[in-house]
Amino acid sequence: MTLAGSACCNPAVRLLLIEEDARRCAHIHERLVSWRPHAELIVHRPVAQGALAREFLAQGFDAVLLADEWPGGRGLAWARELAARAGFAPLVLLCRNKDASLAREAGAIGAFTVSSEDLEREAFAHVLAAAERRQAHARAIWRTSRAGRETQRFGDAFIRGYRCIRRLAAGATSDLYVAESERAGALVALKVARDRQDEPQPVDAFRRFLQEYEIAQRIADPAVVRVHDLGVSDEHAWLVMEYFALGDLRRRMRSPLSPRQALQFAVAIAAALAAVHGAGVLHRDLKPGNVMLRENGSIALIDFGLSKDAALALDVTDSGMIFGTPHYMSPEQGHAEPLDARSDLYSLGVILFEMLTGGKPYRAENPMAIVYKHRKEPLPQLPTQFATVQPILERLMAKLPAERFADARQAGAALEETLGGWLARGQES
């Protein structure tokens, strides 16, 4: 049997490769597709990306390949830690040279080994096929066992193909979980509507989730959360999204931000709004909790369930009802008046004020009093050390939409110019 000869009778294989050497990655991919033309190889770079999340079991992969070493790390050490995770995918240690001692150590923890010499021969295909069979058997047990079924339960909803890790948050209408997706081969955030779909609701959960899904799929911009899946199980609507290990901007703001960091975040949010508005969508609930942080330093906007989408001609809020978060609402949104993109710019202004000062511009004992202050109270004033930012804030938070920036791109350009001037004067802190 040749490597290519087994492709006709086997389905596509999916592997995770932990390796830092790009040339070696390319060579392993070349050998893999000679065996399985439709094989998928996902590369995780241990130096650049760090350790795998501790809850991750690689259940969406047929096997995990580990380089024997990379700068500052060894595959065998990682293999020991990963093998100790109950239910982790089969491990294959890639050795540059044949090493009987290393093979014995790997075998002791249940890992396969492949040498550089084996990689060029049918031994590579045989090892991967054995790992694939082992994983297929483990998946079959997990899917059908009582324990496996329980791990696929999210509150009252059973959602096949997702392993529940923990609940992240409980909202007014939905619960948010971190889960592992077999299809995505990654940790994901899974939102489940608390109310059953056979019970009448003021705002239907499935329609709201459907809007989030449609908007994210259509915009397809890094500034917007990636949405993987949508469905209904046990009459509960659910939505699967990108998981953000670093959390949101609200969490980041628990530690004081430097002015430079605050302005950088504001520039990034303005750019994200430009992408969203350019697709004909108004967010309508922009707040720190809906600005997520990625490990590469970028941001993504989430929670488009209350958005106004011109392309879909869909507005899931009933006429005359006020939805959103009072502290971040524009005056017109707080009074249920017609909105355009400049309403989201007002919310950005509130976030900017909060990032710089640590407090909200208007405070009151109840939501309606806050709404009143957004319309009637004078514009907030930043501390004197932020005098160069005050004109930007006043344009963002102008009471009348006509007095704000024309659009998010214009606001972003002004913020970027202010940030550049701040840095030029040596005010990095």
Q: 31 with 3: CB under 8 angstroms?
A: yes
Q: Give the CA distances from residue 20 to residues 57, 71, 378, in Å, rounded to whole numbers and listed in that order.
A: 21, 8, 55
- 4-14 in b/e burial notation, b at 16+ Cβ within 10 A? eebbeeeeebb
User: Residue 309 catalytic?
Assistant: no
- 143-153 in b/e burial notation, b at 16+ Cβ within 10 A? eeeeebeebbe
Active-site pick, 285, 303, 309, 344: 285
Give every CB contact of residue 99 below 8 A, 6+ residues apart in sequence: 115
Closest to 14 (Cα-Cα) out of 132, 112, 130, 126: 132
What residues pair up with 292 in beta bridges, in sequence order?
248, 300
C-alpha 167/C-alpha 330 separation (Å) is: 32
Dump strand ranges (E) for 329-379. none
The angle subtended at Cα 81 by Cα 69 and Cα 71, nearest 5°, is 20
Dump strand ranges (E) for 221-284. 227-233, 236-242, 281-282
What residues pair up with 105 in beta bridges, in sequence order?
none
What residues pair up with 130 in beta bridges, in sequence order?
none
C-alpha 28/C-alpha 211 separation (Å) is: 41
Q: Hey, what are 125's tokens? A: 């295909």
Active site residues: 285
